Chain A
Amino acid sequence: GENVEQHPSTLSVQEGDSAVIKCTYSDSASNYFPWYKQELGKRPQLIIDIRSNVGEKKDQRIAVTLNKTAKHFSLHITETQPEDSAVYFCAASGGSNYKLTFGKGTLLTVNP
């Protein structure tokens, strides 16, 4: 089955800096890669996703890049703000198209 590795497990940045979280996946048939943000005590919510026919996608301060050859994808947050502090999860959807396999999460702390 699919295996998703996520790094780093914790990341601390100063407000205004950029943050990058990286994930690798094992199943070359995976074609959908979402990123979820989970604030403390709240449910995970989708912040951005990318499909395998696209190399990069941006939404304001958030961007995701995908390298299918290397089987890795990354989340980039620019001009970080304290409200970006949360746990971020990457995920990959394998050939079954029904299930997501999640990474173990990255705790991002943005210091004012």
Chain B
Amino acid sequence: DVKVTQSSRYLVKRTGEKVFLECVQDMDHENMFWYRQDPGLGLRLIYFSYDVKMKEKGDIPEGYSVSREKKERFSLILESASTNQTSMYLCASRTGAGGDTQYFGPGTRLTVL
């Protein structure tokens, strides 16, 4: 059974702080993804990683960076948090290329004050 976990369910930070969101999967998946979910906007891809140390920008990468030093862990970094980054952040993982199922984590609701 695939398990994707995220470091926090709820997080409150102040404007200008550096924020780390972590995601861990236990199924040896090659691909990992970070999305943000906002009401009426669906799920938008921030960054994805198709292998260790590899990363590609998604549709809304501005203000974010990522790190993937180990296969099971994918971190999303907000270098200087801003109020417009208040959102639900969802991590997902997938076995590999070819349209396989993406498995989502429970999400982190980040509030930036």
Q: Please list the residues of chain A having a beta carbon within 8 angstroms of any beta carbon in chain B.
A: 1, 6, 9, 31-32, 34, 42-46, 49, 51, 89, 93, 97-105
Contacts and interface: CB of A to CB of B under 8 A. Distances in A.
Interface in B72-113: 90, 97-99, 101-102, 104-107
Nearest to B99: A32
B45 interface: yes
Interface of B: 31, 33, 35, 40-45, 48, 50, 56, 58-59, 90, 97-99, 101-102, 104-107
Given A43-B105, A44-B90, A46-B101, A99 B58 contact: yes
10 contacts: A6-B42, A43-B105, A44-B90, A45-B104, A49-B99, A89-B43, A97-B97, A97-B98, A100-B45, A104-B40
Nearest to A32: B99
A43 to B, nearest CB: 4
B101 A49 contact: yes
A98 B41 contact: no
Given A43-B104, A98-B56, A99-B45, A9 B40 contact: yes
Instruction: List 7 tightest A-B contacts by C-beta distance, closest first.
Output: A32-B99, A104-B42, A43-B104, A102-B43, A97-B97, A102-B42, A93-B99
A5 to B, nearest CB: 11
Nearest to B58: A99
Contact of A31 (B59, B99, B107): B99
